[in-house]
Amino acid sequence: MLEQAGVLISERLGKRKCAIVTDVNVASFHLETLKQALGETAAGEITLEPGEGTKSFYELGPLCENLLEMGVERGDLVIALGGGVIGDIAGFAASILRRGVSFVQIPTSLLAQVDSSVGGKTGINTPQGKNLIGAFYQPRLVIADTSLLETLPDRQFRAGYAEVAKYGLLGDADFFEWLEQNWRGVFAGGPERLHAIEMSCKAKAAIVETDEHEHGDRALLNLGHTFGHALEAFAGYSDRLFHGEAISIGMAMAFELSNEVELCAGQDAQRAIRHLEGVGLPTRSDQIPGDKPTPDQLLSLMAQDKKVQDGVLTFILTRGIGKAFVERGVDMNKLHDFLTRKCS
């Protein structure tokens, strides 16, 4: 499908000059194929370093300036060729460049194909937290070529799978049961992988369609993210902890907290955790390499979460597999005690 990107873009958006934003790793595998597919419409490429550290003001400014120097006009396209990091920063740059230049997502990671390329969230990180600077800005087109996942390192694929499992855990118990039975096929490729990606995209699109700017139900997509984003910030947005790994730990903590406050049965919490551990994902903060977070560090980082309202933390808790809900009334003393045990 990547070989047909130029045709797909022209058919849907017309013939436009295209500026490619990618990272070093993705470029080594897929950049030349995309440039050939775009032909004379390819205006050039900007290659960034991989990793969450790239999503910063330090990289955003030069990226915007390079796009302007490339001659990108309001009627042109910015193409994000890469995983969630590239999609987020390239999409944000497109949203502010000339007050809005259209962009196309070509996600190359499992996480990007099932999550970050769908829904229109773009942004960068700051020391205070993840994605705190950004914009809702929808891509004009998403080209998800599942064959590109064959070049993805095992750890990155596994991290992306956490977001696949999330869709079952938050709202589709039948899908989660299917994943329990078929996850090996998802990892191996073939029809199971295609089915998992399709189900994930449909689940996210259905929620985003009803609540694009996250005033209500879209917050459910953040199952595990209040804890997970704090853990990512603690780890310095480094390869100590990939986003999907942080979300896996966060989802385990969300189920455990739900069980402790008597919302979720213990067997459901253990079932969720057992599945995440079974595919090789971390479920505890002490599995993060290097120094470990303290309860106060995590609480301080969670206080910067985008879903905080009037100083009150928002959590996505659950009443069982597939039964997530938004909770803004978590007792802070209970939360501190919970984190103390989890961080010990």
Residues assigned a catalytic role:
99, 121, 163, 204, 214, 218, 222, 225, 229, 243
Helix or strand (DSSP H, E) at 228 = helix 225-234
Q: Are strands 315-318 and 324-327 parallel, antiparallel or unpaired?
A: antiparallel
Residue 304 φ/ψ, nearest 5 degrees: -95, 5
136 secondary structure, DSSP code: E
How far, in Å, are 105, 213, 214 from residue 209 at the CA level?
A: 18, 10, 10
Q: Are strands 42-48 and 324-327 parallel, antiparallel or unpaired?
A: unpaired
CB atoms within 10 A of CB 292: 14
Structure tokens at 78: 């910015």
How far, in Å, are 282, 343, 344 from residue 289 at the CA level?
A: 11, 14, 15
How far, in Å, are 39, 99, 141, 229, 290 from residue 6 at the CA level?
A: 7, 25, 12, 36, 45
Residue 29's contacts (CB-CB under 8 Å, 6 or more residues apart) are: 108, 148, 151
Q: Which residues sit opposite 80 in a β-bridge?
A: 21, 105
